[in-house]
Amino acid sequence: MIAPTPPMGWNSWNTFGREIDEDVIRSTADAMVATGLKDAGYRYVCIDDLWEADERVDGRLTWDAAKFPGGIPALADYIHGLGLKFGIYSCSGTHTCAGKPASFGYEEIDAQTFADWGVDFLKYDHCYFPPGADPRAAYARMGQALRMTGRPILYSLCNWGGNEVWTWGAAVGGHMWRTGGDINDSWESIVHLGFRRQKDLHPWGRPNGWNDPDMLVVGMRNRGNVAREGCSEDEYRSHFALWCLQAAPLMIGCDVRDMDPATKAILLNRDLIAVNQDPLGVQAACLGSHRRCEVWARPLANGDLAVGFFNLHEKPQGNVPVAWEQLHLHDRRPCRLTDLGSGEDLGTHSRVFTSGSLAPHACQVVRISPQRT
Ligand code: GLA
């Protein structure tokens, strides 16, 4: 299985957009090792759009030699040498979203080129798609072409949730599929893509096929390519916690060479990463909302549950109850609770747990461990 748990890594688009080159990618890969991101599980270093040369050469895609003078295969080798994996980008239409040559009609040759270069991950976009052509068939052609290379290549579909991709993404060989449009560094975007678009999609996420609400904006702080207003620290914490509960791919979008301590603490929260990577692979469902605080919960492989309380209100709120019954636990079952934000032991509870008070857009995530008798 290529993606038994949600893929974790970094992608160039959010911060760098068109300003990518060999040095940015190499120094990012170095920083992933030096900062402990690699040890925490972030493995894929992915180049997004605008790595391509303007024209094919002998029918093959090739790289922009001004940006990548050493070439993509050497860059892939370098990344592999650090124990990381290498991702690249193409598009199911005739051109990429930024107007570079793309893979429609060239699926087999491009898949083989990527395999020859040592690519481990392909993000496959959906701009310039020929009118009348069938999106599902085009995604299936690339899925088939990737398998035929014999190289394990993670296939990330990016058609922004079109044609209810979650219903057929796995059948065309996809390991993750975007469920909505592009994220930007704003709370509105997190609410739209994370809380709203994902709401009823939990039945479709599973090992080897994950719903993808888009890359993380944690740590962008109004910088980079997709910046809008910039989030507060509480908003970044809620964003990360929600993506972890939702078993979403964790693709970092900030500049990991220059992270402040708060950004590091969020992205390296091992308790939340363990929830995201839980082998049961069940995406959290929204259990309901209470005075604009939403409760999201998922079962974990060892019998524990992870529950998040999210304050979507502009004012402090709190004291949101979740009853064992809502979690399908017997109401007399004593459970030990741990706060996954602070690591604090919250003691033993029966029947119900009530969240603390939550600042605007803040969250509390707890792990509920039923005590065996
Ligand atoms: C689309 C995708 C983005 C990014 C850009 C690149 O908008 O959704 O994630 O890949 O294209 O051009």
Q: Tokens 């044609």 belong to which residue?
A: 163
Residue nearest to atom 9 of ligand 1 (CA): 182
Q: Is the CB of 157 under 6 A from ligand 1?
A: no
- Identify whether the C-beta of residue 23 lies closer than 8 Å to the C-beta of residue 3: no
Residue nearest to atom 3 of ligand 1 (CA): 182
The 3-state secondary structure of 119-158, one letter per residue: CCEEEEECCCCCCCCCHHHHHHHHHHHHHHHCCCCEEEEC
pLDDT at 19 over 80: yes
Chain-centre distance for alpha carbon 201: 15
Confidence of residue 155 (pLDDT cuts 50, 70, 90): very high
Across the chain, mean pLDDT equals: 97
Domains belonging to the chain, first-starting first, are: 8-276 (3.20.20.70), 285-370 (2.60.40.1180)
The pLDDT assigned to 225 comes to 86
- Identify whether the C-beta of residue 90 lies closer than 8 Å to the C-beta of residue 103: yes
Residues 327-353: what's their mean pLDDT?
96
Q: Is the CB of 48 under 6 A from ligand 1?
A: yes
Ligand 1 atom closest to Cα of 89?
10
pLDDT at 20 over 90: yes
pLDDT > 90 fraction of the chain, expressed in percent and rounded: 96
Q: Is the CB of 255 under 6 A from ligand 1?
A: no
- Take residue 15 and report the two structure tokens written for it: 């911060």
Residue nearest to atom 1 of ligand 1 (CA): 97
Confidence of residue 119 (pLDDT cuts 50, 70, 90): very high
- Take residue 117 and report the two structure tokens written for it: 């270069």
Gap from CA of 96 to ligand 1 centroid (Å): 8
Q: Is the CB of 50 under 6 A from ligand 1?
A: no
Residues 79-104: what's their mean pLDDT?
98
Q: Looking at this protein, which amino acid is placed at residue 290?
A: H
Q: Is 125 marked active-site?
A: yes
Among 95, 96, 125, 197, name the best residue to mutate to test ligand 1's pocket (greatest count of ligand atoms within 8 A of Cβ). 125
Catalytic one of 49, 125, 214, 304 = 125
Among 97, 122, 178, 212, name the best residue to mutate to test ligand 1's pocket (greatest count of ligand atoms within 8 A of Cβ). 97
> What pLDDT, in 10s, does the model give residues 267-306?
999 999 999 999 999 999 999 998 899 999 999 999 999 9
The pLDDT assigned to 372 comes to 87
Residue nearest to atom 6 of ligand 1 (CA): 49
- Identify whether the C-beta of residue 189 lies closer than 8 Å to the C-beta of residue 175: no
The pLDDT assigned to 227 comes to 84
Q: Is the CB of 97 under 6 A from ligand 1?
A: yes
pTM: 0.98
> What pLDDT, in 10s, does the model give residues 191-201?
999 999 999 99
> What pLDDT, in 10s, does the model give residues 28-75?
999 999 999 999 999 999 999 999 999 999 999 999 999 999 999 999
What is the C-alpha separation between 101 and 58, in angstroms, rounded? 13
Gap from CA of 20 to ligand 1 centroid (Å): 14
Gap from CA of 182 to ligand 1 centroid (Å): 7
Q: Is the CB of 29 under 6 A from ligand 1?
A: no
> What pLDDT, in 10s, does the model give residues 205-241?
999 999 999 999 999 988 888 888 899 999 999 999 9
